[in-house]
Amino acid sequence: MKIIVLIKQVLDPAGILIRRDKEKMFINREEYIVGPDSKAALEAALQLKDAGGAEVIALSLGKPRADDALREALAMGCDAAYLLNDEAFAAADVPVTATVLAAAIQKLGGADLVVAGRESGDTGAGQIGSRLAEALSYAQVTDIHALTGVPGAIQATRRWGGGYAAVQALLPAVVTVAPEAFPARYAHGARIMNAYREWQVTTWNASDLGLNDAALKPLLVFRGESFPQPLPVGEQVKGAPASAAHELITALKLQKAIG
Amino acid sequence: MDFSFPKEYQLFRRMVRDFAENEVKPLAKAVDREHRVPFETVKKAAALGLMGVPFPQKYGGMGGGEMGYCIMMEELGRICTSTATVIGAHTGIAAMSIYLDGTEEQKQKFLVPLASGRLIGAFGLTEAQAGSDAAAIKTTAVRDGNHFVLNGAKVFITNGDIAGIMTAMAVTDPSLGAYGGITAFIVETDTPGFSIGSLENKMGIRGSSTAECVFQDVRVPKENVLGQFGAGFLTFMKSLDIGRASLGAACLGGAQAAMEGCMEWTMAREQFGVPVATKQSVYFMIADMAAEIEALRSIIYRTAWLIDTHQPHIKEAAICKLYGSEVASRCIHKAVQIHGALGYSRDYWVERAYRDARIAEIFEGTNEIQRIVLASNLFRPYGLRIPS
């Protein structure tokens, strides 16, 4: 099975301080990490590789610094990594990103399975998987919590209403994974060393992918940004931890939120 | 001059930090309380290459050099000194002695299983009458055909009872003294005659084991002579020189944890209507910690660089161990004070850190020995010999 995993590098939220009173976000430490959803996607793909053997390719559209995210993907167990970088991609919105990724996947000869995170840790649109599936005419399953490979297809459990549904999709397919369902493995130390010393990340630009300006014209126009309204504070449970926990459980049971 | 860490080391540090936070930390209190080695952590560490960080990949190691090894020890020391001690004694002195002076065959046979974590290593130097005076060992090795027969006892051996392989120093010719009369051996601990005496009931690092190891007619094949015959003292001293840098790195982690813990606590704890972090008596202590920690960090990683680039490092490594252990002790001493009664409670991490820190001023050469090493290196160019 040939699996392509989409990787998005995001600003490490641990280095950000949000000041609601000043309606500003302060970056105390500008460090970039593989987004938690992308890490879960990697884990889901690597579990398929562990189970039945697969070639896992990491693919990222990003700035040159996304090279680090791809090397981390190599360290975690990917077999190859591709960075899509071009000045012309800088203004890419979600539709353009899907176009660029689809072009790259086609250049790679297509895939049996494309795995992405449910949504990215920064913009959080949650659209890439679906748009990419449409662009490639692949089947799609979103927000999956379990994944296994069977001949010619994948079987997945996805969130469905208040519970889960078991689904099967014929390959080729795109799946997006729920980050909480695929806690990522640690990279082996030797693979971390090799990811920088021995292995390569291939970079492709717009002309490598045969994309012209028209294909890269974003649909979205940026008009400005504003701070979201604070979320209303719900019911608060206070007091000693033991009694507060008891009270909370009782309240959740009354609302049938838990069994 | 470029002081930034190469990217592979930055990623490695992030991995080890996650590992320490998620896998080591949940056990740190329990292994201290229950006085047991965290084997489950050691097994997980081995699966990630963390039992052989400094060694080349061709010997089953991670290929991280001393730089990578110090990074791991800092991150482990930040979370659990016991775990750092188990992995440190295994890697930094036991496996290191084989890496430094072992033959290619010995490396394949013994370093590969150690570096990959299939076996745990121990370093057998100290004896009841030979602590700081390491050359005063009484364990003997007598040639008998293709074997050497070892008799004697080692004490205070970290990992002694859990090791599969021990490097041990024994007297092969009493007339020749330290240089010429002492030989290092690689001992497989399942060899008949090797046994464990008492286990130490220690003040700190209780999640590591410290054992008395008894040799009674232990027959070691002559192929297991480590380094040159009669030059075992040098092999062991070289291993200790390198081990000192990483020991200092673990202390750096301990000091860093003390400072971070104090910052977190003093920002949350309010007295007289304000966070205690705003009190000069408190933030001066934290500022002093920060200054010493940064100075320590500089010497640790500069020494790691000296070792990795095969430059002289004996003096710097002694500073790492001496200064590192004392900075850690000073920071944790202040941390107890800053946390007040909470810092004295057995239910809180500060008390464990306080007990754990103390050993670093003692083991792998007391700080007094480090001062001798330093002074000897300072005065030697002027022809002045510092007696031990």
CATH code matching the domain that covers B7-120, chosen among 1.25.40.10, 1.10.540.10, 3.40.630.40, 3.40.640.10: 1.10.540.10
Q: How many Å from the N-terminal Cα to the C-terminal Cα in chain A?
A: 40
| B234-382 topology per CATH | Butyryl-CoA Dehydrogenase, subunit A; domain 3 (1.20.140)
Q: Which two tokens stand for residue A172?
A: 């080729």
pLDDT of residue A125: 85
Distance from CA of A140 to the nearest CA of B (A): 32
Q: Could you give the ipTM of this predicted complex?
A: 0.95
Mean pLDDT, range A74-89, rounded to an integer = 97
pLDDT of residue A221: 87
Residues of chain A with CATH 3.40.50.620: 2-216
Chain B positions in Cβ-Cβ contact with residue A193 (cut-off 8 Å): 8, 12, 57, 62-64, 68
Nearest-CB residue to B63 (from A75, A186, A190): A190
pLDDT of residue B188: 98
pLDDT of residue B322: 98
Instruction: Pick from A72, A193, A197, A199 the residue to mutate for testing the B interface (most B CBs within 10 Å).
Output: A193
Mean pLDDT, range A85-106, rounded to an integer = 95
Contact A189 B7 (CB under 8 A): no
* Residue B236 main-chain phi, psi, to 5 deg: -70, -40
Mean pLDDT, range A145-149, rounded to an integer = 96
CB pairs under 8 A between A and B: 51
Q: Which helix (H) or strand (E) holds B147?
A: strand B147-158
Chain B positions in Cβ-Cβ contact with residue A194 (cut-off 8 Å): 63
Which amino acid is present at B345? S
pLDDT of residue A232: 87
d(CA B349, CA B264): 13
Q: Is B364 a catalytic residue?
A: yes
Mean pLDDT, range A38-67, rounded to an integer = 96
- Please check the confidence at residue A121 and state whether its pLDDT lies above 90: no
Mean residue pLDDT of chain A comes to: 93
Concatenating the DSSP letter of every residue in B56-80 gives -GGGT----HHHHHHHHHHHHHHH-
Task: Give per-residue pLDDT as tens, A184-240.
Answer: 999 999 999 999 999 999 999 999 999 999 999 999 888 988 888 888 888 888 888
Contact B19 A186 (CB under 8 A): yes
Say if A197 is an interface residue toward chain B (CB within 8 Å): yes
| A2-216 topology per CATH | Rossmann fold (3.40.50)
- Please check the confidence at residue A21 and state whether its pLDDT lies above 90: no
Q: Which residue of B has its CA nearest to A197?
A: B8
- Please check the confidence at residue A259 and state whether its pLDDT lies above 80: no
At which residue do the structure tokens 């693979």 appear?
A: A191
Q: Which residue of A has its CA nearest to B17?
A: A186
Q: How would you classify the pairing of strands A55-61 and A80-84?
A: parallel
Q: Are B173 and B142 in contact (CB under 8 A)?
A: no
Contact B63 A71 (CB under 8 A): no
Task: Give per-residue pLDDT as tens, B201-259.
Answer: 999 999 999 999 999 999 999 999 999 999 999 999 999 999 999 999 999 999 999 99
Q: Under CATH, which number does the domain B122-230 receive?
A: 2.40.110.10
Say if B58 is an interface residue toward chain A (CB within 8 Å): no
- Please check the confidence at residue B83 and state whether its pLDDT lies above 80: yes
Nearest-CB residue to B8 (from A186, A188, A195): A195
Task: Give per-residue pLDDT as tens, B166-211.
Answer: 999 999 999 999 999 999 999 999 999 999 999 999 999 999 999 9
Say if A17 is an interface residue toward chain B (CB within 8 Å): no
pLDDT of residue B324: 98
Distance from CA of A221 to the nearest CA of B (A): 36
User: pTM of this prediction?
Assistant: 0.94
- Please give the DSSP secondary-structure letter assigned to residue A186: P
Chain A positions in Cβ-Cβ contact with residue B61 (cut-off 8 Å): 190
Going from N- to C-terminal start, the domains of chain B cover 7-120, 122-230, 234-382
Task: Give per-residue pLDDT as tens, B112-139.
Answer: 999 999 999 999 999 999 989 999 999 9
